[in-house]
Amino acid sequence: MNQSNDIEALRARLDGTRGREYWRSLEAVAETPEFKEFLHREFPSNASEWLDPVGRRSFLKLMGASLSLAGVSACTRQPIEEIVPYVRQPEELVPGKPLFYATAMPFAGSALGLLVESHEGRPTKIEGNPDHPSSRGATDIYAQAAILGLYDPDRSQTTTNLGEIKPFSAFVEAARAVVSGQGSKQGGGLRILSETVASPTLAAQIEALLKRFPAAKWVQWEPVGRHNAREGSRLAFGEYVEPQYAIEKADVILSLDSDFMCAGPAGVRHSRAFASRRRAETGTARNRLYAVESTPTNTGTRADHRLPLKPSEIDGFARALAAQLGVEGVTAGTVSDAARKWLGPLAKDLQGARGRGVVIVGEGQPAAVHAIGHAINAALGNVGETVTYTQTPEAAPSDQRAGLRELVGEMNAGKVDFLLVLGGNPVYTAPSDLQFGAALHKVKLRAHVGLYEDETAALCQWHIPEAHFLEMWGDARSDDGTVTIVQPLIAPLYNGKSLVEVMAAFSEAGARAGYDLVREHWAAQTGLSTEAVAPAPAPQPAATAPGAPAAPAGVAAAPSQPLSPFDREWRRWLHDGLVPNTAFAPKPVTLQAGFAKAAAPAGQGLEVVFRPDPSVYDGRFANNGWLQELPKALTKLTWDNAALIAPATADRLGLFKGEADEAFASKAPVVELKKGDRTLRVPVWLVPGQAPDTLTLHLGYGRERAGRTGTGTGFNVNVLRTWDSQDVVNGVELVATGDTYQLASTQDHWSLEGRNLVRVATAAEFAADPGFADKRELVADRALTMYKSDWKYEGYAWGMAIDQNVCNGCNACVVACQAENNVPVVGKSQVLNGREMHWLRVDRYFTGELDNPDTYHQPMPCQQCEGAPCEVVCPVAATTHSDEGLNDMVYNRCVGTRYCSNNCPYKVRRFNFLLYQDFDTPSLKLMRNPDVTVRSRGVMEKCTYCVQRINQARVTAKLDDRQIRDGEVVTACQAACPTDAIVFGNINDPESRVAKLKKSPLNYALLAELNTRPRTTYMAVVRNPNVELEPPSASHAEGEEGH
Site for other proteins in 84-123 (CB under 8 A): 84-89, 94-97
What DSSP assignment string belongs to 709-747?
TTTT-S--GGGG-BTTBSSEEEEEEEEEEEEEEE-EES-
In the window 1008-1037, what residues touch other proteins (CB under 8 A)? 1010, 1012
Q: Mark the segment that binds other proteins (CB under 8 A) among 58-66, 239-247, 314-322, 475-483.
A: 58-66
CB 395 within 8 A of CB 200: yes
CB 539 within 8 A of CB 515: yes
Compare residues 73 and 180 and give the one whose CB is closer to other proteins: 73
Determine, following the binding rule CB under 8 A, whether residue 858 of this chain makes contact with other proteins.
yes
CB of 92 to other proteins, least distance (A): 12
Question: Cα separation of 803 and 981, whole Å?
Answer: 5
Determine, following the binding rule CB under 8 A, whether residue 920 of this chain makes contact with other proteins.
no
Question: Cα separation of 649 and 588, whole Å?
Answer: 46
CB of 33 to other proteins, least distance (A): 12
In the window 933-952, what residues touch other proteins (CB under 8 A)? 933-934, 937-938, 944, 947-948, 950-951
- Please identify which residue in 2, 19, 33, 83 interacts with other proteins, judged by CB under 8 A: 83
In the window 970-1009, what residues touch other proteins (CB under 8 A)? 1006-1007
CB of 851 to other proteins, least distance (A): 20
Sign of CA dihedral 677, 678, 682, 684: negative
CB of 886 to other proteins, least distance (A): 6
Determine, following the binding rule CB under 8 A, whether residue 923 of this chain makes contact with other proteins.
no
H-run or E-run covering 645? strand 643-645
DSSP state of 1019: E
Determine, following the binding rule CB under 8 A, whether residue 909 of this chain makes contact with other proteins.
yes
Determine, following the binding rule CB under 8 A, whether residue 886 of this chain makes contact with other proteins.
yes
Compare residues 438 and 778 and give the one whose CB is closer to other proteins: 778
What is the Cα 771 distance to its own chain's centre? Answer: 36
Question: Cα separation of 811 and 859, whole Å?
Answer: 9
Question: Cα separation of 699 and 224, whole Å?
Answer: 9
Question: Cα separation of 870 and 879, whole Å?
Answer: 7
Compare residues 21 and 337 and give the one whose CB is closer to other proteins: 21
Judged by DSSP in three states, 520 sits in helix
- Residues 517-543: b if buried by 16+ CB within 10 A, e if exposed: bbbebbbeeeebebebeeebbebbbbb
Q: Mark the segment that binds other proteins (CB under 8 A) among 18-26, 209-217, 599-607, 1025-1033.
A: 18-26
- Please identify which residue in 507, 526, 897, 988 interacts with other proteins, judged by CB under 8 A: 897
Determine, following the binding rule CB under 8 A, whether residue 81 of this chain makes contact with other proteins.
yes
In the window 810-839, what residues touch other proteins (CB under 8 A)? 830, 833-835
In the window 34-53, what residues touch other proteins (CB under 8 A)? 52
Determine, following the binding rule CB under 8 A, whether residue 893 of this chain makes contact with other proteins.
yes
Name the H helices within 754-907.
763-768, 812-820, 828-832, 869-873, 899-902
CB of 817 to other proteins, least distance (A): 14
Compare residues 82 and 337 and give the one whose CB is closer to other proteins: 82
Q: Mark the segment that binds other proteins (CB under 8 A) among 1-9, 225-233, 589-597, 912-920.
A: 912-920
Compare residues 741 and 839 and give the one whose CB is closer to other proteins: 839
H-run or E-run covering 800? strand 798-803
CB 797 within 8 A of CB 891: no
Compare residues 95 and 214 and give the one whose CB is closer to other proteins: 95
H-run or E-run covering 33? helix 33-42
Compare residues 44 and 90 and give the one whose CB is closer to other proteins: 90
CB of 83 to other proteins, least distance (A): 5
In the window 859-878, what residues touch other proteins (CB under 8 A)? 860, 869, 871-877
Question: Cα separation of 654 and 644, whole Å?
Answer: 15
Q: At what angle do helices 565-576 and 514-526 cross, to 10 degrees?
A: 110
Question: Cα separation of 897 and 684, whole Å?
Answer: 38
Determine, following the binding rule CB under 8 A, whether residue 888 of this chain makes contact with other proteins.
yes
Dihedral angle, C-alpha 134, 140, 144, 149, nearest 10 °: -100
Phi, psi of 160 (to 5 degrees): -130, 150
Determine, following the binding rule CB under 8 A, whether residue 306 of this chain makes contact with other proteins.
no
Residue (of 556, 827, 853, 806) closest to 687 by Cα position: 853
In the window 324-363, what residues touch other proteins (CB under 8 A)? none
Query: CA 970, 916, 865 angle in degrees (round to 5)?
Result: 40
In the window 138-177, what residues touch other proteins (CB under 8 A)? none
Determine, following the binding rule CB under 8 A, whether residue 906 of this chain makes contact with other proteins.
yes
CB 616 within 8 A of CB 659: no
- Please identify which residue in 70, 536, 653, 850 interacts with other proteins, judged by CB under 8 A: 70
Determine, following the binding rule CB under 8 A, whether residue 69 of this chain makes contact with other proteins.
yes
Question: Cα separation of 347 and 334, whole Å?
Answer: 16
Determine, following the binding rule CB under 8 A, whether residue 754 of this chain makes contact with other proteins.
yes
Determine, following the binding rule CB under 8 A, whether residue 882 of this chain makes contact with other proteins.
yes
Determine, following the binding rule CB under 8 A, whether residue 286 of this chain makes contact with other proteins.
no
- Please identify which residue in 210, 599, 665, 953 interacts with other proteins, judged by CB under 8 A: 665
Residue (of 545, 718, 656, 604) closest to 127 by Cα position: 545
| Bridge partner residues of 119 (DSSP) | 122
**Number of residues this chain uses to bind other proteins (CB under 8 A):** 121
CB of 871 to other proteins, least distance (A): 8
- Please identify which residue in 914, 924, 943, 970 interacts with other proteins, judged by CB under 8 A: 914
CB 246 within 8 A of CB 385: yes
Q: Mark the segment that binds other proteins (CB under 8 A) among 335-343, 387-395, 733-741, 882-890.
A: 882-890
Compare residues 86 and 402 and give the one whose CB is closer to other proteins: 86
Contacting residues for 927 by C-beta, under 8 A, at least 6 apart: 122, 124, 147, 148, 150, 151
Compare residues 485 and 943 and give the one whose CB is closer to other proteins: 943
Compare residues 119 and 191 and give the one whose CB is closer to other proteins: 119
Contacting residues for 73 by C-beta, under 8 A, at least 6 apart: none
- Please identify which residue in 30, 513, 599, 779 interacts with other proteins, judged by CB under 8 A: 30
- Please identify which residue in 3, 9, 24, 1029 interacts with other proteins, judged by CB under 8 A: 24
Compare residues 130 and 896 and give the one whose CB is closer to other proteins: 896
Question: Cα separation of 750 and 753, whole Å?
Answer: 9
Determine, following the binding rule CB under 8 A, whether residue 850 of this chain makes contact with other proteins.
no
Q: How far is CA 796 from CA 73, 284, 882, 965, 985, in A?
A: 32, 32, 11, 11, 9
Determine, following the binding rule CB under 8 A, whether residue 59 of this chain makes contact with other proteins.
yes
CB of 471 to other proteins, least distance (A): 22
CB of 769 to other proteins, least distance (A): 22
CB 733 within 8 A of CB 680: no
Q: Mark the segment that binds other proteins (CB under 8 A) among 369-377, 577-585, 812-820, 890-898.
A: 890-898
Determine, following the binding rule CB under 8 A, whether residue 10 of this chain makes contact with other proteins.
no
Determine, following the binding rule CB under 8 A, whether residue 5 of this chain makes contact with other proteins.
no
CB of 169 to other proteins, least distance (A): 25
Residue (of 966, 987, 983) closest to 974 by Cα position: 983
In the window 731-750, what residues touch other proteins (CB under 8 A)? 747-750
Compare residues 248 and 748 and give the one whose CB is closer to other proteins: 748
CB of 504 to other proteins, least distance (A): 29
Pairing between β-strand 445-450 and β-strand 418-422 as defined by DSSP bridges: parallel
